[in-house]
A and B are shown apart, each in its own frame.
Chain A
């Protein structure tokens, strides 16, 4: 959306309305620019899917950690230092050759912020929110993931404050890689369940 001059009958753009709200709240002493910038930095650079990738890579290489993660996701994720707002209680589920988990929030776009950051555009898209609870195989196919007919699909609609993290399958041929080397293979999309982790 552009902020260049338009006819006066045009409603102001959302960008201009954002600027207007910032001014109005600042004038009333209701926001602190430092706090505002801190929130932006937090979700643009500090928190993101790299956190989740570290959790997954640890689970791929440490069977005891994997067990703890699937038993009590919140506690295991906290071991790596992640948790908090929009991730108070996280349940991890493991994809296997026979079961495939995929996560959605049909009511808004709830997402495990501490491990994955803010949701990508496809996750917030009405088409995804509406359809993946009704025809997940078709949706996954449109997103580029074809599942064999015998694979059981389990959709998780995160309607409460419980958040879901998918533990993807470790790709074949990565047995020689270290935990650190595995981290870049773990994509955000694999941790939501619309893709598989790919071999390097």
Chain B
């Protein structure tokens, strides 16, 4: 989907922040539990670890829930979205409890009956082996499909319709586009495709090259 998470090449963010030495992993105390709870929420909501479903929850957050709470807040908010969609928690349950924690007296919604997806990964992780041969070869010129899909995808907007060259054929992986929606693993080869900066950003762009990992169905051969 074309959501807030697809940031590559977008403008208006201001300067980058130079690295700080000895930055702690968790700058604030709550971030420790927010991180762990987000990971645990993936399993609690779905009955298993499906990071594609989690990333799809992340990309559906509105701007405030994605940006304003920072990285760990964003993970927490995505966890809440998944838990609510699977009726593990009722809408508003977290806010009501949080208000009561700070001394308010608000009614909390009743406990709901979870409706979890049927999730049966064929193996741990995302690597899979395929009997078939890769459709594209190293050195082959390919084009990223110029498509916009309503659901989850890992095809960034800024490479769609652009041509590049296959640099590395990576092992086959579970396809996020279907796995995120619990519609099957559909493992595919992944290709590191190298693009020239001028193909992506025009003739005035800085000179550099860029590789992006593309699942096989994201690519078409160029004539």
Residues on A close to B: CB < 8 A?
Answer: 1, 3, 5-6, 8, 11-25, 28, 30-31, 35-37, 39-40, 43-44, 48, 85, 88-89, 91, 106-109, 117-122, 124-139, 142-144, 152-162, 188-189, 194-195
Chain A contact residues: helix, strand, loop or mixed:
mixed
Q: A162-B170, A162-B190 are in contact. Are A155 and B211 (CB under 8 A)?
A: yes
A156 touches B27 (CB 8 A): no
Residues on B with C-beta less than 8 A from A153 are 206-209
Complex Cα gap A20–B100 (Å): 9
Q: Are the CB atoms of B40 and A130 closer together than 8 Å?
A: no
Q: B188-199, CB under 8 A of A: which get 1 and which 0?
A: 001010100000
Lowest 6 A-B CB distances belong to which pairs?
A106-B8, A12-B98, A160-B213, A20-B97, A15-B30, A127-B13
Size band of the interface chain B makes with A: 35 or more
**In the assembled complex, how far is the CB of residue A197 from the closest CB belonging to chain B, in whole angstroms?**
14
Residues of chain B within 8 A of A8, CB atoms compared? 99, 104
| B102 and A156 contact, CB distance less than 8 A | no
Is the CB–CB distance between B15 and A127 below 8 Å? yes
Binding site for A on B (CB under 8 A): 5-11, 13-20, 23, 25-30, 32-37, 39-41, 44, 55, 58-59, 67, 69-73, 76, 79-80, 88-89, 93-95, 97-99, 101-104, 111, 125-127, 154-156, 158, 168, 170-171, 173, 176, 190, 192, 194, 200-201, 205-215
Contact of B102 with A6 in the complex, beta carbons under 8 Å = yes
Residues in B neighbouring A6, C-beta threshold 8 A: 102
Binding site of B, secondary structure by majority: helix, strand, loop or mixed?
Answer: mixed
Please report the C-alpha to C-alpha distance between residue A40 and residue B70 in the assembled complex, in whole angstroms. Answer: 18
A88→B125 contact, CB < 8 A: yes
Complex Cα gap A106–B194 (Å):
16
Docked complex Cα distance between A162 and B191 (Å): 10
